[in-house]
Structure 1
Amino acid sequence: MLARLSRSLIPAAKCAVSLSSALESLCQPTASIPGSCRSDPGAVYSGLVAPCLKATTSILVSSTSSSPSFRAVSVGFHDHPNLVIPDYFTGLGYILSVQAHGSQTLLQRIKLLALYAKICKLSAPLVQSRPPTTVQTLWVNSPHVADTRVVLGSSLAWLKVRSHFQMARAVRAGILRDLWAGALIDPTPMQVCFPNPEGGLFGTCWGDCAEAISISACWKLVASGVPLRTLAVNVAAMNAVDLVTGLSACDVILASTSLREMVGELLRANAFRPMCKNCEHLRESIAANIVDCATSDFWLELGLVTAPTSHSLLPHVCDDVFERTSSGKRISCAV
């Protein structure tokens, strides 16, 4: 699956026509995930992704009337029967999510996330947008629940037209409010921690981050307390090219066959992005059993990282590369 997606999308992602054609082929009924609503991927492609590529915008806004109207596509996405897909990058994540079916290893999930980060970066100029700051994946991690679905989501990419950005964020915030109105508070935990009298836009309000899509897409699992795992990475860090090797973290991860090597690359690129205070508040308020894989505890448990005082077997990669998580812990590559 990953090899097929990579071969199809990476070469096409620099040209709107080629990317549109590649995505259209993925959304054909015969290419969709078995058992899914076969019309939904096509609806996201034809109703949002293709028009965004044609109009060179990441958010569709109709200005035929006196007041602009926001255009989005609603589809059945995993547990959610009518989830709103409001922008190009979310639509791209949806299309990639429904391609991933069957049992997947952690290595394969990280590769899929890296592919998403790379396609977001490559295709951002095609929709005249900055790429999202972060991309995230959510999946089930319970031996008692045979659910192999994944969700890919992105933070909301900034638009020069501020009102359009606000419209898209309001839609994403509405998705959360419909399910967990009591958990959303004003001011948000991020606004309390980092007050900005001029009004901040990034990481402050509900709807900016990918949790609006990922947690809502699996809301039944969340509500029933099924153990879930999530991992978010920084798109710019994932796509920064190493001047020595000429490769980005995405390139290395997509070519890797070793989970240890992947973790080392993510550390070296400083790509891990732990949950912000808004996400942590939402998780605690709705009693969600979601483990953040961008923190040290997860990788320590797997034996893939150690305390920074330990000597690393990969000194040229990791001796002086640590990730400071939201809990203040620092980690390095494991011995």
Structure 2
Amino acid sequence: MAVLNIAQKKPQHFISTADFTAEQLLDFVHEAIKHKVQAKYQYPEPRTERPLAGKTLAVMFSKRSTRTRVATESATAYLGGHAMFLGSQDIQLGVNESLLDTSRVVSSMVDGIMARVGGHDEIELLAKESTVPVINALSDKYHPTQILADLMTIHEHFHHRHNNVPAGQYTAHTQHPRETLPGLKVAWVGDANNIIQEILVAFPKVGIHVSVAAPSGYSCDQDVVDIALADAKQTGVNVTFTTDPQVAIKDADIVITDTWVSMGQENEKAKRLQEFAGYQVTMDMVQKGGAKADWVFMHCLPRKPEEVDDEVFYSDRSLVFPEAENRKWTIMAVIDRLLVKGGF
């Protein structure tokens, strides 16, 4: 009688950058850049292996998505796998069937799960009950794949600037991000949402100063703030909070904002627009705030004009479109690390 050993080790998940060391996060970014130069520029040679051939990634989204969905499906296809999209109308994600049951059932049939959920407790439960790696594609608390893309975009920009790389050439793969990111300052102007919370648990850890400006009454979760301050103490950077955008912007290398009205908050739009008056990122605001002369702008998209005006958004200072593209390469790096290499 042939006896099969079917015992499985607990899978590694990607729920938040808070769960990883600085070196692991920077390695994710470096691996993403290597994927980019091989897939997009065929360096050092075109990829021929398809390590996910015959494997399926369940893409379970309870909320709409453009960049995350396109990035995930195209990255999975490049690695040879199949991305099975399961929207809120396709499966009973927490409706008529518990998340616990859904996680156990779906994970028994696929090789990984990429989930965009509502409450952060939902992604934590999916991960707890899943027998395969779970990747957080967005929760109300964190958005880890976005922040990996931001780190990659910042590295590319400052590497090319500091090395005077001419337009039309790419060399960011020749330098590790541990050499480019420490010492930079990010100014956040906007809502205390999942993007800034993910920034706070990632950027100070890798040596980036963070200054947050949000209106009175809008504050980050205390556990997130505690993590940021502890990381900042370890790396010697500053993490500050204010209600004045110009105070936050002082000496910033990068100015970042995001939507003021997230999905599910539409009924608060009028109230929020009133409370965020004066928070629109403009050239005048940044100049008066005293950002570095060569400051750049980022936004995870989709963007609305009240958050940042056209002059900034479409200027040479704006990195928003490379930032969006880099969602693909960082998601590919996470999928490759968890589903192909088996984690760290």
Question: TM-score, normalising length from structure 1?
Answer: 0.30
Larger radius of gyration: 2
Structure with greater contact order relative to length (CA < 8 Å, sep ≥ 6): 2
